[in-house]
Chains A and B, each alone.
Chain A
Amino acid sequence: MLLKAAATVLTLVAAAAAAVHVGGHLKNPAAPLHPGVLGTPSAISSPAGGWLKLSPAVRVSDVQTVTSTYAS
């Protein structure tokens, strides 16, 4: 009997705590559905302006460039 009462109290306490936690962490309804570039955690500001992101397949170096990609 005591065990049942303890389990019931524990369940009620957990449910109440969860309700309080969820109520205090509501999703911001004004947040955009698709995060913008600035929201991409691993994108960094580029020295040339804008945002840069490189996968492990592309390494950064301080060696002098031999050529560049550019719009033409």
Chain B
Amino acid sequence: MEEARFEGLGSTCHLLGVGLEQGRLSWGAAWVAEMHHRFSRFEPDSEISRFNEKAGQWAGVTSELEQMLRAALDAYQLSGGLVHAGVLGSMLAIGYTRSLAVGPTTAVLTGAAPPPPLPELLEVDEGRARLQAGFGIDLGGIAKGWLADRLASELGENCLVNLGGDLFASGGGPDGTGWPIGLGGVTVLLSSQGAATSGTWRRAWAQGAVRVHHLIDPRTGLPAVSDLSEVSVVASNAVDAEVHAKAALLLGSEKAAAYLDVHAHGWWLAPQSR
């Protein structure tokens, strides 16, 4: 089994493959780096930054951006509106204006507001898309999940792609029984399945006496208030797992279990007091 670890997409990435040459994994790492430059909102010349700048008019989009924007619309529908890629305004208002490696800027929470439904903000057509003026898209975890699924399909039949915790396990793993993955303190075997975790304790910081984190609740336009600190989900693919983990965290423990029983292959819920 070959593997490669590297920093990408603002987190740690891990690629593993059975029967793959190391060069193939190196290609995968380079592909992730390229995607980071193309789809990071912190890069002023990235495709997503240029798309956001053109809000209010139809803009040409690459196949990858078109697919990610469609995935964002699917995520909105799948989560009943809880996973909303159009919360960039709130992200900027809380001070998440640049990479947290550099540090957040001062929050101006009065600028955070619930956005209109995503289908009212974003239209996607073949090779082009239009965003309503005054709004912006943050692909966030949707991009990570989508990229993990996509890279796994490119790498081979028996591989695992983990992009900052959003992962897709393809094939039977090292011994054919599935890829052994850590989730909620246990080892689970995944085969042709995705997993992801959403949490409020990472990418969090203090603004005076107020604790701020990056997970925006589109119902308020503010950082989510939940009795759950972390949710991990196994689903058919990484992007679905990402969507359901985030939706469940926003729902809170009372409703998350029922929601995940319908949507997930497996789940782990961690309370705030953990």
Chain A residues with a Cβ under 8 A of chain B: 32, 34, 36-37, 40, 43, 46-55, 57-72
Q: Does A66 contact B268, Cβ atoms closer than 8 Å?
A: no
Q: Does A69 contact B182, Cβ atoms closer than 8 Å?
A: yes
Bound form: Cα–Cα A54–B257 in Å: 11
Proximity string of chain B (251-274) to chain A, C-beta cutoff 8 Å, 1 when within and 0 when not: 001111110110011111111001
Contact partners of A64 in chain B: CB under 8 A:
180, 187
B96: interface (CB < 8 Å): no
* Distance between B103 CB and nearest chain A CB, rounded to angstroms: 17
Contact partners of A40 in chain B: CB under 8 A:
257-258, 261
Check A67/B266 contact, CB under 8 A, given A53-B257, A58-B188, A72-B11. Answer: no
Count of B interface residues, CB-CB < 8 Å: 61
**Chain A facing B: main interface SS:** loop
Contact partners of A32 in chain B: CB under 8 A:
254
* Distance between B182 CB and nearest chain A CB, rounded to angstroms: 3
Interface residues of B in 1-39 (CB under 8 A from A): 1, 3, 10-12, 14, 16
* A71 nearest CB neighbor, chain B only: B199
Check A67/B162 contact, CB under 8 A, given A34-B254, A36-B254. Answer: yes
* Distance between A54 CB and nearest chain B CB, rounded to angstroms: 4
Proximity string of chain B (97-120) to chain A, C-beta cutoff 8 Å, 1 when within and 0 when not: 000000000000000000000000
Contact partners of B267 in chain A: CB under 8 A:
52-53
* Distance between B143 CB and nearest chain A CB, rounded to angstroms: 12
Q: Does B268 contact A60, Cβ atoms closer than 8 Å?
A: no
